[in-house]
Structure 1
């Protein structure tokens, strides 16, 4: 298996062009991505991470998916995350456009779109906008309904914004001090460790590589979902964790309205980060879904 890593330009880029008489128009950003090569010529798997995440979240399951399915696997950093450019705009329409642009640049005319949490809502938005690009859709532990009642994201952002670290300290010390500052707000060690994957050193200073200002400003957009009257006609899998509150039985009517061919599968023992909590079961569920008619 050949592993090819390609990176987009890691610098800020304008998120808005101009249209008509001063009306703003979204323009896509050049996203950072990693591509794992597979021997199958069929549609590749495209993995989209959740809020506060990056393409490295799939570092464990991506090679397993290549081995299990034979297909290429593309993992992507969303705007304002990982190595992708920053922008003041952070809506699902904008993030969908970014992915569409990248697929075009890579000459991918059809894909299996798999998104976790925020990435799941981005994937759903893209499938509803451009069903011709999506052969199958997988939404991991998220539904097309508001998630505000079950999320702690505002508290996470506040804690991350208030972090302060001295200059010139070793990385291990920086991580320890940062975790100490997060602990009073974020009690779950795994969540703290997940957020700390975004801590980077720049010229002796430690900071978050996330664009927290844009994320904070657009959090109401991120925890809701755009309004669609159309539907996605292709096979769809909603893969939820049995210990997670993010997908509930009350979501079924909206799922059925927008995704009439949807199936819901529950992974026992998994919380919100299904692919990290139960990686083998996650890979098996995706692989089995690809075999369904």
Structure 2
């Protein structure tokens, strides 16, 4: 479910990244090419961006489909930014949260989005909820799995974890509680983009003219798009992209005992 995109690089109009590409988020709202779950992303959309001279991002979110918002078309044509995070939300069961359920979620300088789903929500994550302070639960922007996952990430960030570690640890915690969860997470502070590929598609493009795009799927047919392997953490700047496998911790109970472990070959000293 959902499609999202983040960008850091030379200043561009919002529309050049979100609306104008032949297969951009605008078109992905009704005709995604690589979406494995769901078909229409019409239950809200949002764009967060950074303006020169202001460290805090601005957001524009709506509960309806992106193609029906003529005000956004004007906004996207004239507003320029060197960093953004945008998302279109998959059609889901109706709820009362409206645009509050649309990414990006925000705290301080950071913007966040979740492409995926947590099976059995909210029951499967009830034990995980106990790890959060009550004030974090009471201040959730929306009552959906994405807002809750963001609360888990944010708690780790506030505890001092770096962006990549906070995303990876959250993915492992949620996946352990809800096997089969799809957890493609996207986070930016306006200077870097951090993301996870876990159960759904993720791609990146190092643009020849400078800048990096990270997205659920390519927004055009540029041959330089690269797919991120599943279960991978991505960390990108305007010039570099680093991919690191997300290692699932091994259960000590599954480790072989000394009696059953295979004999180790001893190499001669040289």
Give me the TM-score of the superposition, normalised by structure 2: 0.27
Judging by fraction of residues, say which structure has more helix. 1
Judging by fraction of residues, say which structure has more strand. 2
Give me the TM-score of the superposition, normalised by structure 1: 0.25
